[in-house]
Copies of this chain bind each other. A is one copy, B any other.
Amino acid sequence: MSDDDDQTLGITESKEYATGDWYAEVCRKAGLTNYGPEGMSGFIVARPRAYGLWERVQGELDARFKDTGVQNAYFPLFIPESYLEREKDIVEGFDPEVAWVTHGGHDELEERLAVRPTSESIIAPYMSQWIRSHRDLPLRVNQWASVVRWEATETKPFFRTKEFLWQEGHTAHETDEEAWEETLTRLDQYEEVYEDVLAIPVMRGQKPDHDKFPGADTTTTVEALMPDGKSVQGATSHHLGQSFAEAFDITYSDEDEEERVAHTTSWGFSWRSLGALIMTHSDEQGLVLPPTLAPEQVVIVPIYQSDTKDEVIDYAEEVADDLEDAGVRVELDDRDERNPGFKFNEWELKGVPVRFEIGPHEVEDGEITAVHRPDGEEVTLDRDGVAESVRDELDTVYAKLFAAAEENIEENVRDADDRAGILGTLGQHGGYVRTPWCGDEACEEEISEQMAAEIVMVPFPDDEEKHHDDVLAGDAECAVCGDDADETAYFAKSY
């Protein structure tokens, strides 16, 4: 079956009842992804419509990084096995499933090389070389690249792929405070891009101690709640303390020429964010994109008979020119061989936020009918000043998407005070279940043994509104073991 046939048929799966199949269908039919070649399960092709989204997200994040002192660099794709082993010594339990290069050309290599699953083990030794004195600090380096993790799971475009695109930032600082501030700066930027660009509200907090990045002091996270009630770890920012710096000899001489160990951070954001984007906003007509990211923010569909064609097309072209001049990304769909209904469906499938319908009536009245993609709302705009008024429509579409996602997250944080409550609530509703927690991993395991759920987030100590009331009041008992609890745990099923 050709792609063209696929498009004619539209989306057939139910978002509510067959979320996974629906998601895969949207990725395919909206022209976002293909699967990799036979024999390469787990790999995908990011087609231009998907890669364009990544470019915009990347641009937004990269500009924020650069405004705050980050420089990009490029490190080798391969990492000698001995380098990974060195990392293994530091961070117990780090045993990456990687792709191994064993041959170069016709020769077997003396030492096999890992295709980078992440690059800290190769970046850190260079940071060690580059840093001599306190004048070299802070040092902030970031890399945009693809990484490979050989995990055998079912492929889900952007959520689960053996190869994925991401950025990893690595910084070194003189003091613990600066490193912590850096960690939060990056978390703020991740939150901002999720909320202001992807139109996805997120929960910020930290991972439970037992689920931190190995070797880190603190792993901070932004979590997004998907419509199927599962949480997605949106991005993480790690305060690494001095453990990595000690292991990789990242030291500097201070103002008194004393040798000091630096404090480091690392932080990463991947194309999983595109998975969250598609999953959150799209519907059974196909992809839905916020205007911040849409390759076409407005599509103009002219509606005419042979006797009205010229006036309608002329009018539509002028509107398109006005929008383009104003910097709006606009597409005029003047294909003769397709009828308006077909075009409506196709552009809905592709996620264009606002559709302009222009027929003889609109021309006569000097108006434009604008239709919002998320809910089909129709608005009549004056032709005059449309290049400005369209901004309001785009803002409204963004606001609708954000509000719907926000409602989902707000309605799906529920308190529970005991084991049965946690399991029952997760089973019935999904979402986040908020409980007092003693901090012991064993209490999480008691839940995760019975249901594929875990503690995805613990609020920051000072983020009071996110804490369970009893924890705030200081008289909480762990919902699982009954011991004193001074933490609040957010349990959820997760991607």
| A→B interface (CB under 8 Å) | 2-4, 34, 36-40, 43-48, 51-52, 54-55, 71-80, 82-83, 97-106, 110-113, 115, 122, 125-126, 129-130, 132-133, 141, 145-146, 148, 150-152, 162-163, 165
Tell which of B39, B78, B122, B129 touches A99, judged by Cβ atoms closer than 8 Å. B78
Which among A54, A77, A82, A106 has the greatest number of chain B C-beta atoms within 10 A?
A77
Q: How many copies does the complex hold?
A: 2
Residues of B within 8 A of A72 (CB): 48, 51-52, 55
In Å, the complex CA distance between A34 and B141 comes to: 15
Task: Tell me whether A83 and B37 are in contact in the complex, defined as CB-CB below 8 angstroms, given that A43-B76, A100-B103, A105-B150 are known contacts.
Answer: yes
**Shortest Cβ distance from A86 into chain B, in angstroms?**
11
- Tell me the bound Cα distance from A24 to B48 in angstroms: 38
Which listed residue (B4, B100, B110, B129) contacts A102, Cβ 8 A?
Answer: B100
Q: Is the CB–CB distance between A36 and B111 below 8 Å?
A: no
Output the residue of A75, A76, A110, A132 with the most chain B CB within 10 A: A76
Cβ contacts under 8 Å, A46 to chain B:
73-74
Complex CA gap A145/B146 in Å reads 9
Q: 4 closest Cβ contacts across the A-B interface?
A: A48-B71, A97-B105, A104-B150, A46-B74
Q: How far is the CB of A170 from chain B (nearest CB, A)?
A: 12
Q: Are B80 and A40 in contact (CB under 8 A)?
A: yes
Asked if residues A77 and B163 are in contact (CB atoms below 8 Å), the reply is: yes
Q: Assuming A34-B126, A37-B125, A101-B100, is B76 touching A47 (CB within 8 A)?
A: no
Most buried by B among A37, A79, A99, A150: A37
By a CB distance below 8 angstroms, the chain B residues around A52 are 71-72
Chain B neighbourhood of A48, CB < 8 A:
71-73, 141
Given contacts A43-B78, A75-B45, A97-B105, are A4 and B132 in contact (CB under 8 A)? yes
In the complex, chain B residues whose CB is within 8 Å of the CB of A150: 104-105
Chain B's closest residue to A72 (CB) is B51
Q: Are A111 and B39 in contact (CB under 8 A)?
A: yes
Assess whether A76 is in contact with B37, with CB atoms less than 8 Å apart: yes
With a cutoff of 8 Å between Cβ atoms, the chain B residues found around residue A74 in the complex are 45-46, 51, 54, 146, 165
The distance in angstroms between the C-alpha atoms of A115 and B126, with both chains bound, is: 24
Complex formed: what's the CA distance from A75 to B106 in Å? Answer: 25
Complex CA gap A113/B98 in Å reads 13
Known pairs A37-B79, A77-B115; list 13 more (Cβ under 8 Å).
A4-B132, A36-B76, A37-B80, A38-B80, A39-B110, A40-B76, A40-B80, A43-B76, A45-B75, A45-B126, A47-B130, A97-B106, A98-B104
Choice from B71, B97, B113 contacting A40 with Cβ under 8 Å: B113
Asked if A103 contacts B111 (CB within 8 A), the reply is no
Which B residue's beta carbon lies closest to that of A46? B74
A80 to B113, CA, bound (A): 18
- How far, in Å, is A268 (CB) from chain B's closest CB? 18
Contact between chains at A73 and B100 (CB < 8 Å): no
In the assembled complex, the CB of A147 is this many whole angstroms from the nearest CB of chain B, namely 9
A99/B101 in contact, CB under 8 A: yes
B39–A80 touching, CB < 8 Å? yes
How far is it, in angstroms, between the C-alpha of A83 and the C-alpha of B39 when the chains are bound?
11
CA distance A145 to B54 in the complex (A): 14
Task: List residues of chain B with CB within 8 A of the CB of A145.
Answer: 146
User: Across the interface, which residues of B come within 8 angstroms of A163, CB to CB?
Assistant: 76-78
CA distance A73 to B44 in the complex (A): 11
Which residues of B are found within 8 Å of A71, using beta-carbon distances?
Answer: 48, 51-52
Contact (Cβ within 8 A) B99 A130 = no
Find out whether the CB atom of A97 lies under 8 angstroms from the CB atom of B103: no
* Contacting residues, chain B, for A104 (C-beta < 8 A): 97-100, 150, 162
Contact of A132 among B3, B79, B111 (CB under 8 A): B3
Cβ of A122 and Cβ of B37 under 8 Å apart? yes
**Chain B residues with CB below 8 A from A133, complex form:** 4
Residue of B73, B78, B112 touching A51 (CB-CB under 8 A): B73
13 sample A-B contacts, Cβ–Cβ < 8 Å, listed by A number:
A2-B132, A37-B83, A37-B122, A40-B76, A43-B76, A44-B76, A45-B74, A47-B73, A51-B72, A74-B146, A98-B104, A99-B101, A105-B151
A48-B72, A77-B146 are known contacts. Are A105 and B98 too (CB-CB below 8 A)? yes
**With A72-B51, A76-B37, A163-B77: A3-B98 Cβ-Cβ less than 8 Å:** no
